[in-house]
Structure 1
Amino acid sequence: MADSARYRLPTNVSPRHYDVAFYTDIDPKSESRFGGFVNVEVDVNEATSVVELNSSQLTLGDATISSGGETQQQSAQSVDTEQQRVQFTFPKALAAGSKAILSVPFEGILRNSMTGYYLSTWEDAGEKKQYSLTQFEATDARTAFPCWDEPLLKATFGITMISHRDSVNLSNMPAISESNYEPGTEASQTPQMAKLLSSLPSGHEWKITKFENTPKMSTYIVAWANGPFVHLEKSVSLPLSKKTIPLRIYTTKDVIHQAQFALDVAERVLPLYEEVFEVEFPLPKLDTLVAADFDAGAMENFGSLLSSFTSQALTLFLGLITGRTSAFLLDPKHADIKGKKLVAMVQSHEVAHMWFGNLTTMKWWDNLYLNEGFATLMGEVIMLGEIFPEWKARSEFISAHLQAALYLDAKLSSHPIEVECPDASHISQIFDSLSYSKAASVLNMLCDYVGEDKFLKGVSLYLKKHNLSNAVTEDLFEGISKASGVDVVRLMDHWIKRQGFPVITVSEGPNGIKVRQDRFTEAGIAEPKENETIWNVPLMILSTDAEGKARIDKTAVLEEREMEFAIDTSRDFKLNANTVGVYRVLYSPERLAKIAAAAGKDGSVFKLEDRMGLLYDIMAFSRAGLAQPSGLLTVISALGANEKEYLMWSSIAEALGGLMTTFWESPDIVESLRAFTRTLFVPLVDRLGYVYKDDEPNDVTQLRTLAISSSLMGQDQGQVTSPIPADLQSSLFIAAVKYGSEKEYDAVVSIQENPKTPTARIAAITAMARTEDAVLLEKTFSYIMKKSRDQDVLYFFRGLQGNPFARRKIPEFFKTNYDEFEKRFEGNFTVRLLIPSIFNGLTTQDDLAATEAFFKDKDVSKYNMALAQALEGIRTRIAYIARSREDVKAWLVEREKQSK
């Protein structure tokens, strides 16, 4: 275990308030810079002559410290680049219990790094222009100003920005003053400010914007931006605080018309959060800033940003959210349902952070899930279900989050939800499906078990008790235990603090069922040394009575390795009703067939969520060797017989796509799978047609899109003769490039470079990656290296992963350009996210050996988790293919015989 104390700042001095003043000089023709000073009011907790805090990539001037009327100059300054710290030594010790003000001048360079304080580029009438914004989570505030960059060390912040007069300044709080700076007026300023103003780069007219002090918050939530922003605005009335506050969304003038939907979502969810949590929204406004270049999907920042990716305002407290264009922009004339869902989910998720993260913050990054798991569950399920019930958010949660979590957590190289994070390289790696999706899934299971009303009441108690402070897991459990009367610590501790999840094996007897839990891995039941955890598993047993009516027993909890439960097995039953449990259920083949047959009938007691869970479980068991893939295909046939729900068909398409990806080097199997896909989806196309209607239900629209897309995947020769609807854009772009020529390829390149919407750009990027022409594929590789935006590289690689023609070329391309990729994405999330897209298609021992050999001499500390997971995936696919090829082939041959 790492010595975590080595990576934490000393506690002899702690911050109370920061005053940060700095200029921003954006110069497209030269090097853009920023610089200023920070004055930090600190409490001296122990007598010391040494003050240590975080700093990285900054040039620091000489520090001074003032206490008790005496000011000292530093006697020494020591920088530790590895630990990203600076240590100031002063001639005299500061007295314990005293207060002091530490002053440090700093300068930095604005880079296109997507982290820290950085540049983003946009195009205005064919001219490249730039603006600046921040992305400090998790540990990059230290690259913008010297600070105690740990979440527990909360303080208040006063920000003063000096910028070119023709730009807009934004920060967490509203501006309380803004004035033009005239050279020669420095005498009216403090000596520090006068010195800063007199050193401003020449050739520009400047202005000074001073913002109101923030509430007490962590450094990673501090935010600011500077650029040519415009905004949309509306107001919202809040039910608890009885105040009306402005909502704004900021971006550049070329895309501001696409921001209305995100603003509307914020207007709808903000009052709901205040009402549900029974905690007032503390700010006088909420803003969103949308940026052209952004590493993460979006980022919540307490307060508001006057000119950046997501938001700003002008009076009193403000809230600021920042994110990338695809997460917040939507052209109403070219909007598809998928795009609308993404914008709504991201906006709702980020608003949730105003409570989970900003008002109440985890003490350290090992409890990241207290921010992200809650924001995922609340923002993307509970609140989204309230404002868009037709989207069936609870059902989609199964495919969007629960299965993503179980897929990753089935690896021995996964990690617990609450995981040790000693240093920055570890912290950046846990922003994954376990901290977001598994955490949300475990919380959702707890919510279902205790009841949503009691769960939300417990959350409210937690938020109230730790308002504007920090918390750990036990604090949350205490609140929910008090509200529900359930010993939540006992029930949930292993779900949060242990790696993995169980498979529940069900065997039937004369008096009911016997259930057994073992840790599930993607290679099957875990070996004994990895199979020691006993979870408390809410079984949620669905059973039927003599009249066929269903009931769910939520009192049945598996607390031991094996237990028995009385149930009438002559009637339909199923564990994990509604698929809210974070586990898989393994039945005998006979029982599985009965459940699948019953689930495929109209009016079945097994709801959409049950059918989805059943399919995902058999998918996982076939990969793990606990069931035959032929069984998966049989279940698909049974469930597809009378299925009408889009989400179920989407799961079926995912299962078939997964098989094609696994057996991509067996052309006979792939062609037979394509034929099977056509028999399932072409009839849906024939029934639904190609014409989209404005007044049709969302499910119909989505099912038509899926049916056409899946038929194209199956290489159906049907044609779309009407204008291309937004929902079909991606599938048709891909088909055009895959089956077309250089003309079609160049057309999607043009769309990518001049898109009408962010979704059109992503669709075009994906299509560029799907070409099966060797020359055009090389053009795509070249485009990635020479022309693509940094934030778009991930889209290119994910598109390439879906292209069998490119699958073996991707790793070689990455290896050849490894040094450039490593330098290009130094310090942000991208390389860690790229690893699965690059290596997840490999399927042979030679692939495994070559991958291990390549990384043997590389420094993988920033992505060692992702690499271990990728290598484990290759091993699993090797075993799966060897074990299952003949079984799949035999089932497909038999199906083709029967269809003739």
Structure 2
Amino acid sequence: MNKTNKKIRLESHTIPTKYKIEIKPDMDAFVFSGKETIKININKKIKQITLHSKDIDIETVKIYNKGKNNEQFASKISYNIKKETATFSFKKEIKKGSYELSIIFSGIISDTLRGFYKSKYHIDGEEKYIATTQFEATDARRAFPCFDEPAHKATFLVSFMVKDNYEVISNTLPISIDKHESGLKIINFSETPKMSTYLLAFIIGEFEYIEGKTKEGVEIRVFTTKGKKHQAKFALDVAIKSLEFYNEYFNIPYPLPNLDMIAIPDFESAAMENWGAITYRETAILVDEEHTSLVNKQWVATVVAHEIAHQWFGNLVTMHWWTDLWLNEGFASYMEKVCTDTLFPHWKIWDLHLGSARYKSAIEIDGLASSHPVEVEVHHPDEISEIFDMVSYEKGTAIIRMLALYIGEDKFKEGLSYYLKKHIYKNTKTLDLWQAFEKSSKKPVAKMMSSWTKQMGFPIIKETYKDDKCILSQERFFSSRVIRNKSKDKSLWQIPLVYKNTKGEEKLILIDKKSTFLNDKIKKLNSGDQSFLKVIHSEKTLDKIKKDIKENHLSIPDRINILRDIFSLAEGGYIKTSEALGLSLEFKNEKEYSVASELASGLIKISNLIDNEIVRNKMKSHILYVFKPIAQEIGFDKKTEDRNEDILLRSLVISLCGGSGDKEIIKEAKKIFDNRINKTIDKDIKSTIYGIVAKNGGQKEWKTFYEMYKSEEMHEEKERLTGAISLFKDKKILEKTLRFAISKDVKPQDAPFIIAKTWSNHEGRDATWKFLKDNWDTILKRYGEGGHFLSKLISPLKNHTKREDLIDIKKFFKGHTVPGGERTLLQAYEKIESNIAWIKDDMKDIENWLNKNY
């Protein structure tokens, strides 16, 4: 770790307690002026004060102590661009005590989607703007000079001078609106709770809203740009029910009288948990009952539940420093599922989670030597932004789920409530949480959980027998055979493990040694897929499992788990890939979406290794053999008896069969698409239909999608269309897609996803890499300020499979920076090395298996 980065934290002798901030935005010139007074406590004699400031012009600074004649102006204001700080120097020594620091400043309303930025939209062809904020993790300093670290909690009094036609939304409710000079008004907001700077928010624009109340009387409003409030009803309903659920679950009432949720047309992530003023990307909050798919509806419910969970985990109690980010994100990700599963039990949220791309991503990243611990030491803002990944979110979820399993649900809830009440309005470290659970459960939680949070990776458990006694041995799992073959890693975990024995009994044990003897006969390890690990079952046990699959005696989580493990073992070189392909035959008639999704993911990963067209076509034949019977049975049309799983399954299997060249399905998809004017395509198969048409289309179809995109206003539909134009097979057309991605037609928030999806298309791999090299300066200018965009954009690098590609990629990035994406780059290098070794070791094995079966 760079030594300079270690010194990036502020000194601890100056402590803010209250901010009074006045902002005057100019919505025409996109600049703002501001004045703030920060109440501070100084606990040593000083002549300098350093705080955070980035892209802010500070005009004057003075410090004074009310009632004492000791006011003095800063004699010098100096900036450290690397540390993103401003230092105020004073001629006279400042003694210990309480002071007020007054600062006059100005800045720009940027277009970076960070700090204080502008968001553009259109109404009836007229261009409109919102000015909004995104401060997490380290961007409050772009809007006002501040002590921009989570532990520097304070209260905030904010006011805004705006034109009469604008509304302002902030964390609390307005206490007064005063008329000012011609056409202006001053809106004063009530004081916030004690909170971190990254949770402050203000949004200025022209809105409409709908509202409701919880049974406890909290007013909830959902704000949209004009003409969209009818799409806010579902999110409002979920928010009301979620807030009521958490009030009861945590046994701590939500502390504010209001909770606002705001749909922002331009937004980097899905949402941001600003206390009392949660901001969202439109696709993460708006639901049009006629046009929104079930997948997106589930996404909206999950995101709303996640952000409201943060009002306790993150806002009420906040991590001391970003090293413990997982305390925020892991718990919010866990609680979102607990809450959503309660509100929508028919969705089977936990099954969907286990088969989800997000969970797979956590496992994939953490199987690498270049992963990071859940508790990861970070310093610079670029390092901080990189840990907002699936290790923090979904591995965090998994280990919390294991903890609940280990101590029991009642003790888990009791410990959570104790932790929140003890540390209310304060900052914590991970150990504080473990101590709360130890108090509630009387179990050695810290010892057990530290093995999961302080070291990276996760274990693989191997089942063997000696003298008819079962031995369970553990070692670190690596998804790369290259790393595994040279690793000397001796990590051990304390593992809560549920297994099912041959009598059908489920038992919970704690494995804390390299090898553990078990006086029992195993039917299935990791029953219910409740532990974050991999398993190599003995041949005898695997035969029993295969029998249970055939007879449909294995639960959904166990079927997901078996498939996930078998494909991972093949990738890591623990078994031959033909074994995984062989097991996939047992799932020919799989009718559960989450299981089918896991199976599809494994087969597509193997397919993406294959460059030989004859072998690729045989792989497509295998995919059709497994999925076509279900596609034929379920059909294109919805049925009255459809379960939610059937709606999701239909889209998946039709997409797989159409993408694998099934002529009947392609013909029907094209027919449905061509007839879309006369008969609207069903919202739940739209993406699938578009995708099949694109994969089998040319310039004419691309132009059709482009014209549809240009005339479309609903963002969910725009995402479907950009997803489709990333799937063409023709290289020239894909180059056109890539140029379109960085054109003025596409919002900067959407371009990285179009580029990444085109890159993930096997046919677009080389074209996208060339495009990125040719346009890197443009990409860097847009997204090089840090944040999450660059890491998301370059993630598909991992799909490359050739040595010459790896050499070229390393050569390129040796001379080009990737701010906030360095760790993603290292992970991509490791994955490419792994792919190369996998192909070398197993391609003949794959070919032989496919030739034998097709």
CA distance in 2 between counterparts of 1:262 and 1:829 reads 26
Distance 1:729 1:593, change over 3 A: same
Deviation at 1:567, TM superposition (A): 1.0
Residues 51-91 of structure 1: CA distance to partner in whole angstroms, max 9, x if unpaired? Answer: 11000001111200112342101111111111010110112
Q: Which residue of 2 aligns with 1:191?
A: none
Deviation at 1:253, TM superposition (A): 1.1
Deviation at 1:601, TM superposition (A): 1.3
Q: Which stretch of structure 1 is more off in the superposition, 734-743 or 53-62?
A: 734-743
Q: Which residue of 2 aligns with 1:616?
A: 564
* Contact 2:53–2:84 (CA under 8 A) maintained in structure 1: yes
> Quick check: 1:506 aligned with 2:463?
yes
CA distance in 1 between counterparts of 2:772 and 2:852 reads 41
Q: Which residue of 2 aligns with 1:398?
A: 354
Deviation at 1:473, TM superposition (A): 0.6
Equivalenced residue count is 837
Unaligned runs of 5+ in 2: 673-678
> Quick check: 1:854 aligned with 2:812?
yes
SS in structure 2 of the partner of residue 261 of structure 1: helix
Q: Which residue of 2 aligns with 1:311?
A: none
* Contact 2:34–2:105 (CA under 8 A) maintained in structure 1: yes
CA distance in 2 between counterparts of 1:112 and 1:835 reads 19
1:591 to 531, 537, 541: 541
CA distance in 2 between counterparts of 1:738 and 1:639 reads 26
Q: Which residue of 2 aligns with 1:46?
A: 44
* Contact 2:734–2:767 (CA under 8 A) maintained in structure 1: no
Deviation at 1:405, TM superposition (A): 1.4
2:702 to 734, 745, 767: 745
Deviation at 1:694, TM superposition (A): 5.4
> Quick check: 1:72 aligned with 2:72?
yes
CA distance in 2 between counterparts of 1:856 and 1:774 reads 27
Q: Which residue of 2 aligns with 1:166?
A: 165
Deviation at 1:358, TM superposition (A): 0.4
Q: Which residue of 2 aligns with 1:12?
A: 13
* Contact 1:64–1:104 (CA under 8 A) maintained in structure 2: yes
CA distance in 1 between counterparts of 2:125 and 2:852 reads 59
Deviation at 1:5, TM superposition (A): 4.7
> Quick check: 1:277 aligned with 2:247?
no
Q: Which residue of 2 aligns with 1:83?
A: 83
Q: Which stretch of structure 1 is more off in the superposition, 60-69 or 408-417?
A: 60-69
Unaligned runs of 5+ in 1: 184-204, 239-243, 303-318
Residues 291-332 of structure 1: CA distance to partner in whole angstroms, max 9, x if unpaired? Answer: 111111110001xxxxxxxxxxxxxxxx11111011111110
Q: Which stretch of structure 1 is more off in the superposition, 159-168 or 777-786?
A: 777-786
Deviation at 1:776, TM superposition (A): 2.5
Q: Which residue of 2 aligns with 1:265?
A: 238
1:220 to 176, 188, 198: 198
CA distance in 2 between counterparts of 1:777 and 1:703 reads 28
Deviation at 1:838, TM superposition (A): 4.1
Q: Which residue of 2 aligns with 1:655?
A: 602
Q: Which residue of 1 aligns with 2:676?
A: none
Residues 101-135 of structure 1: CA distance to partner in whole angstroms, max 9, x if unpaired? Answer: 10111111112110000000001111221111000
Which letter does structure 2 place at the counterpart of 1:631? E
Q: Which residue of 1 aligns with 2:207?
A: 229
SS in structure 2 of the partner of residue 370 of structure 1: helix
Residues 349-392 of structure 1: CA distance to partner in whole angstroms, max 9, x if unpaired? Answer: 0000000000000000000000000000001x211110111111
Which letter does structure 2 place at the counterpart of 1:288? M
CA distance in 1 between counterparts of 2:93 and 2:141 reads 25
Q: Which residue of 2 aligns with 1:574?
A: 524
CA distance in 1 between counterparts of 2:249 and 2:374 reads 25
Which letter does structure 2 place at the counterpart of 1:577? S
- Provide the aligned C-alpha RMSD in A: 1.6
2:662 to 712, 716, 720: 716
Deviation at 1:24, TM superposition (A): 0.9
Q: Which residue of 2 aligns with 1:207?
A: 185
Which letter does structure 1 place at the counterpart of 2:80? D
Distance 1:860 1:705, change over 3 A: closer
CA distance in 1 between counterparts of 2:128 and 2:202 reads 18
* Contact 2:437–2:445 (CA under 8 A) maintained in structure 1: yes
SS in structure 1 of the partner of residue 608 of structure 2: helix
Which letter does structure 2 place at the counterpart of 1:232? I
CA distance in 1 between counterparts of 2:150 and 2:294 reads 37
* Contact 1:597–1:639 (CA under 8 A) maintained in structure 2: no
SS in structure 2 of the partner of residue 726 of structure 1: coil
> Quick check: 1:516 aligned with 2:473?
yes
Distance 1:5 1:873, change over 3 A: closer
Q: How does 1:485-504 map to 2 (within 5 A)?
A: 485-504=442-461
CA distance in 1 between counterparts of 2:653 and 2:738 reads 31
Deviation at 1:611, TM superposition (A): 1.0
CA distance in 2 between counterparts of 1:587 and 1:697 reads 33
CA distance in 2 between counterparts of 1:768 and 1:412 reads 35
Which letter does structure 1 place at the counterpart of 2:330? G
Deviation at 1:861, TM superposition (A): 5.0
SS in structure 2 of the partner of residue 154 of structure 1: coil
Q: Which residue of 2 aligns with 1:456?
A: 413
Q: Which residue of 2 aligns with 1:315?
A: none
* Contact 1:116–1:140 (CA under 8 A) maintained in structure 2: yes
Q: Which residue of 2 aligns with 1:314?
A: none
Q: Which residue of 1 aligns with 2:647?
A: 701
* Contact 2:419–2:432 (CA under 8 A) maintained in structure 1: yes
CA distance in 1 between counterparts of 2:550 and 2:353 reads 21
SS in structure 2 of the partner of residue 506 of structure 1: strand
* Contact 1:330–1:758 (CA under 8 A) maintained in structure 2: no
Q: Which residue of 2 aligns with 1:627?
A: 575
Which letter does structure 1 place at the counterpart of 2:704? A
User: How does the TM-score come out when normalised to structure 2?
Assistant: 0.96
Identity of paired residues, percent? 32
Which letter does structure 2 place at the counterpart of 1:679? Y
2:396 to 431, 439, 449: 439
Deviation at 1:527, TM superposition (A): 5.7
SS in structure 1 of the partner of residue 71 of structure 2: strand
Q: How does 1:758-777 map to 2 (within 5 A)?
A: 758-777=715-734
CA distance in 2 between counterparts of 1:338 and 1:681 reads 20
Deviation at 1:481, TM superposition (A): 1.3
CA distance in 2 between counterparts of 1:700 and 1:427 reads 40
Which letter does structure 2 place at the counterpart of 1:479? A
Which letter does structure 2 place at the counterpart of 1:600? K
SS in structure 1 of the partner of residue 749 of structure 2: helix
CA distance in 2 between counterparts of 1:133 and 1:503 reads 46
Residues 746-789 of structure 1: CA distance to partner in whole angstroms, max 9, x if unpaired? Answer: 22123323335332111100111122234322321221222221
Deviation at 1:799, TM superposition (A): 2.1
CA distance in 2 between counterparts of 1:282 and 1:861 reads 38
Q: How does 1:325-474 map to 2 (within 5 A)?
A: 325-379=282-336, 381-400=337-356, 401-474=358-431
CA distance in 2 between counterparts of 1:336 and 1:106 reads 46
* Contact 2:329–2:392 (CA under 8 A) maintained in structure 1: yes
* Contact 2:524–2:541 (CA under 8 A) maintained in structure 1: no
* Contact 1:593–1:635 (CA under 8 A) maintained in structure 2: no
Q: Which residue of 2 aligns with 1:873?
A: 831
